Structure 1
Amino acid sequence: MATFDPSTVSTVELEREKYRKSEGLKSVITSVVSALVLVAVITVSLQNSPGWQQVKLTFFNWDVFVQSIPAVGQGLLLNLQVLFFAVIGVAILGTLLALLRTSRSAVMLPLRWIAAFYTTIMRGIPMLVVLYLIGFGVPGLVTSRISPTLLGTVAVILSYSAYIAEVLRAGFNDVHPSQRAAARSLGLTNLQTIRMVVIPQALRKVAPALMNDFISMQKDVGLISTLGAVDAIRSAQIMQATTYNFTPYVTASVAFICLSVPFILLNDWYSARLRKRELNGGTV
């Protein structure tokens, strides 16, 4: 069997590789320089602004920032707790809705209509309105006190499951029918075909879109503060009322940014990986 000899690489290919490396280095240098220039322009513009010192004192006060970290951090733990259970609930409910919408069984027709109606309505209602409806409407129905954290989690699940369901439905429909037929010809049941063939392929296709929705949900979890839950946003509001300074809101924003960045980087990496595999003719 013939083996590859690196010495057989043509001179043209070596020159191309050298050219690609030089162009990549130029691109990196250009990006760094342009970023530094932009930062310098923004810094100079802010420093020369007549109201910058007052804005800096009101929104970017370092002492207040440090003072608000413990309270905001404690509230962020509640946001993480809500996010954990919301992700699980959205994944389950969104998958069920997507499966109902893609079902072709005549028996499932009423449920398919209900799923279509649900996703249409919930995607049209603002998240804040859903929180009000669940957070203040449900306690009125049962005439008893329910934890605002629980109600906020339910509202997030009901709202975002509609978006996730539509993304998953697009992924399910994008799986070629021959894949289902091949699975059934091998003796797999309909549920086994969905679980072992359709869902894995669909998730790979729509993973970047799903990650974007979950990143958006991670930010909207902060809206549970409107129901009275003492999360990071509510903690910042309490600190603002105490210090008469808006810096605690910046502290909460930094906390949410730090929470989002890993997911954003993961999404960018996975999207680039999928694009590279597609361009190379690999199996996506």
Structure 2
Amino acid sequence: MTVTKDESGREGADDEDNVDNADGEDDMSGGDKGAPDDGYVPSQRRLERERYKRTRARRATAIAALSTLVTGAVLYLVVVGAPGWPRTKETFFDGQYAREAFPKVLEGLWLNVRLLLICGVAVLVLGMLIAVARTLRGPVFFPLRVLAAAYTDFFRGLPLIINLMIVVLGVPALRLQGVTVDPVLLGGTALTLTYSAYVAEVFRAGIESVHPSQRAAARSLGLNNRQALRFVVLPQAVRRQVPPLLNDLVSLQKDTGLVSIGGAIDAVRAADIIVGRSLNYTPYIVAGLVFVALTIPMTRFTDWVTARMDRQRAQGGTT
């Protein structure tokens, strides 16, 4: 009887413990279900402000779309309603000549792309060397600084079209032994001379924007002037000047069409040949649209890089 009583008592105690645990779990689950949410609940004023912002954004989008449609319609009516529009349409927007010119313009555009790639690299290298020469310190480098300053002043002041005429037309007239007379190479040389002067000033502005304490810190770590310039100053200068450099490359891409004055068969020259034969200017429009189609992605990429660097600068990151 005693053993049975103990077992029954133990079993009763176990049952009570199980009931208590179940009640506790029910209380906890019930408490969790009934507890208020700790998440952020915006106030009514904030909800109204957000609703107002959305409404204003939709209204601004609608107004912009309507304004664009009205402006486009007005321009269309003004142009189409002009007395000379039929003749202008026939001369500049003839579909037959556009279809004829398009493949030849694309074939010539490959020369413009090659000039952009080759001259772009040459411009960056030469511009960097000129910028470094202008920022060298010490009296021993005075002649280099003077020559670099004279170079940038001369080619920045000389119109590109005149520079092209001098190089492309003047160099072959000298009949120098071993000097090429290829209009493509001479035109690329003229482009490099002009744009390297502009890029040199961009690089120089970047170098001078680096605080002198950066160079002093590099010297304190045991680097000489050349090492401080190479490993400390130039990386920061180039990174800061990426957007202006990209803008110069976009401008260079457009100006590659000027090499046609020397006879190089690029996109502009290909259009010019068709115009000379047909006396219709539609091929020029085709060439212009092709250049625009090539330039717009580069421009948008430049804007994206600029916006990204601005966000990094605003967040306190490195640029």
Using the size of structure 1 for normalisation, the TM-score is: 0.90
| Structural RMSD (CA) | 2.2
Q: 2:204 is matched with which residue: 169, 187, 190?
A: 169
Aligned in 2, Cα 1:21/1:176: closer, same or farther, shift over 3 Å? farther
Q: Which amino acid aligns with 2:284?
A: Y
Q: Tell me how far 1:217 sits from its aligned partner.
A: 1.1
1:137-164 per-position Cα deviation (integer Å, ceiling 9, x unaligned): 2223315652100000000000100000
Instruction: Indicate the residue corresponding to 1:113 in structure 2.
Output: 146
Unaligned runs of 5+ in 1: none
Matched, 1:278 2:313: yes
Q: What is the CA–CA distance in structure 2 between the aligned matches of 1:268 and 1:18, rounded to whole Å?
A: 31
Instruction: Indicate the residue corresponding to 2:123 in structure 1.
Output: 90
| Residue aligned with 1:196, SS | helix
Q: 1:7 is matched with which residue: 39, 48, 70?
A: 39
Q: What is the CA–CA distance in structure 2 between the aligned matches of 1:17 and 1:120, rounded to whole Å?
A: 55
Matched, 1:68 2:101: yes
Q: Tell me how far 1:50 sits from its aligned partner.
A: 1.4
Q: What is the CA–CA distance in structure 1 between the aligned matches of 2:128 and 2:151, rounded to whole Å?
A: 14
Instruction: Indicate the residue corresponding to 2:250 in structure 1.
Output: 215
Q: Tell me how far 1:257 sits from its aligned partner.
A: 0.4
Q: What is the CA–CA distance in structure 1 between the aligned matches of 2:56 and 2:219, rounded to whole Å?
A: 50
Matched, 1:191 2:226: yes
1:211-242 per-position Cα deviation (integer Å, ceiling 9, x unaligned): 22111111111000001101111111100012
1:1-284 correspondence to structure 2 within 5 Å: 7-8=39-40, 10-11=42-43, 19-141=52-174, 142=176, 146-284=181-319
Q: Tell me how far 1:178 sits from its aligned partner.
A: 1.3
| Residue aligned with 1:7, SS | coil
Percent of matched pairs sharing the same residue = 44
Q: What is the CA–CA distance in structure 2 between the aligned matches of 1:16 and 1:202, rounded to whole Å?
A: 44
Q: Tell me how far 1:265 sits from its aligned partner.
A: 0.4
Aligned in 2, Cα 1:8/1:255: closer, same or farther, shift over 3 Å? same
Aligned in 2, Cα 1:254/1:109: closer, same or farther, shift over 3 Å? same
Of 32-41 and 6-15, more deviation after overlay is shown by 6-15
Q: Tell me how far 1:32 sits from its aligned partner.
A: 2.6
Q: What is the CA–CA distance in structure 2 between the aligned matches of 1:37 and 1:201, rounded to whole Å?
A: 47
Q: Tell me how far 1:206 sits from its aligned partner.
A: 2.2
- Structure with the bigger RCO (C-alpha within 8 Å, sep 6+) is 1
* The structure with more radius of gyration: 2
Q: Which amino acid aligns with 1:112?
A: R
Q: Tell me how far 1:105 sits from its aligned partner.
A: 2.9
Q: What is the CA–CA distance in structure 2 between the aligned matches of 1:251 and 1:197, rounded to whole Å?
A: 47
Q: Which amino acid aligns with 2:228?
A: T
Q: Tell me how far 1:16 sits from its aligned partner.
A: 5.3
Q: What is the CA–CA distance in structure 1 between the aligned matches of 2:252 and 2:85, rounded to whole Å?
A: 33
Q: Tell me how far 1:188 sits from its aligned partner.
A: 3.2
Of 118-127 and 197-206, more deviation after overlay is shown by 197-206
Q: What is the CA–CA distance in structure 2 between the aligned matches of 1:6 and 1:164, rounded to whole Å?
A: 58
Aligned in 2, Cα 1:180/1:273: closer, same or farther, shift over 3 Å? same
Q: Tell me how far 1:200 sits from its aligned partner.
A: 2.4
Q: Tell me how far 1:182 sits from its aligned partner.
A: 2.0
| Residue aligned with 1:84, SS | helix
Aligned in 2, Cα 1:107/1:18: closer, same or farther, shift over 3 Å? farther
| Residue aligned with 2:241, SS | helix
| Residue aligned with 2:120, SS | helix
1:240-265 per-position Cα deviation (integer Å, ceiling 9, x unaligned): 01221000000110111011001110
Q: Tell me how far 1:74 sits from its aligned partner.
A: 0.9
| Residue aligned with 2:238, SS | helix
Q: Which amino acid aligns with 1:8?
A: Y
Unaligned runs of 5+ in 2: 1-36
